Amino acid sequence: MRADDLVPLGRTGLRVSRLGLGLASLGGLFAPVPEEQAAATLDRAWQLGVRLYDTAPVYGYGRSETRTGMALATRPRDTYVLCTKVGRIIEPGGTDTQPIWADPPPGVGPRLDYSYAGVLRCVEESLERLGLDRVDVLHVHDPDAAAFLRAAAVPGPDCVLLAGRYTLLDQSGLDELLPLCAERGVAVMAAGVYQSGLLADPRPGAPHGYGKVPAELAEKVRALRAVCAEFGVPPLAAAVQFPFGHPAVTSVVVGARSPQEVTDSVAYLNLPVPAGFWAAVKARGLLPDGTPTPPA
């Protein structure tokens, strides 16, 4: 498997790269990203064959969409798949603010709105920020788990973005959603596989969103990193490859805030993993026995 392999996105008729670029970081997730660096990051992804891009209005309160549109404006429109989200409108006085965005545009904030009129407005405003004539995939941003299952259980949804629920540290998506998606032909994009960098840098206070890493989680990370060291597998390579063990997963979407981080993620996905690695992870009790894992 290679990061630039193009595969069908379920029944949509679209083709996507195995690796997708999540664009929250370029909107200023946890720390600001200069505009030139954001453009260079998107350019590097393109150079390495990434053809799936995922943004949202709430990412930097519109900043991510604006930067994404500028970077993709010169690319042939039929050669990539662009996703954005509905459910939050960015407007003056919006109160659904989040402290995770560094230096957001002043005077505006998100407002939750899943209504029909709200969705239409959300799409129109996203297209204005992007400067493009269409998006290919619209995700509903942050639906609750019950809504996720209801949507997947009836004809209609073509794909879902599953963030942080099918990773080396959290396999809760395996309980109901992933089997249902496989049964219904719903393509899954797995996101949040790096746990915001926790697998790479588990130190307390590192930029992974945990002020203090819970003791049980810290021990699991330590044990996973030990198995990785034994087999010579970078922890982030194991993280980005793990979701592909499940047949419903079409692509893995990772964030990046620099060209080097894109380069690293592509290398991690392309890296051969030694035979016996996944069996060893299960033998240490770090994955349930029945968890599907990628072939060696």
Q: Quick: pLDDT tens for 205-254.
A: 655 566 677 888 889 999 999 999 999 999 999 999 999 999 999 999 99
Helical ranges in the chain per DSSP H: 35-47, 63-72, 116-130, 145-152, 177-184, 215-231, 235-241, 259-270, 277-283
Q: 19-64, pLDDT tens digit by residue? A: 999 999 999 999 999 999 999 999 999 999 999 999 999 999 999 9
Between the CA atoms of 290, 292, 294 and 296, what dihedral angle is there, to the nearest 10 degrees?
A: 30
**Which CATH number characterizes residue 205's domain?**
3.20.20.100
Domain of residue 67: give its range. 6-283
Distance CA 20, CA 46 (A): 10
The answer to whether position 181 is within a domain reads yes
The answer to whether position 246 is within a domain reads yes
What is the CB neighbour count within 10 angstroms for residue 111?
17
Number of domains forming the structure of the chain: 1
Q: What pLDDT is recorded for position 205?
A: 62
Is the pLDDT score of 69 beyond 60? yes
- The verdict on whether 80 is a catalytic residue reads no
Is the pLDDT score of 154 beyond 60? no
157 confidence band (pLDDT: 50, 70, 90): confident
The answer to whether position 293 is within a domain reads no
Is the pLDDT score of 189 beyond 60? yes
First-to-last alpha carbon distance for the chain, in angstroms, is: 11
The answer to whether position 30 is within a domain reads yes
The answer to whether position 147 is within a domain reads yes
The answer to whether position 1 is within a domain reads no
The answer to whether position 289 is within a domain reads no
The answer to whether position 295 is within a domain reads no
Quote the percentage of the chain above a pLDDT of 70: 93
* Set 59, 61, 166, 210: catalytic member: 59
Q: Is the pTM of this model over 0.85?
A: yes
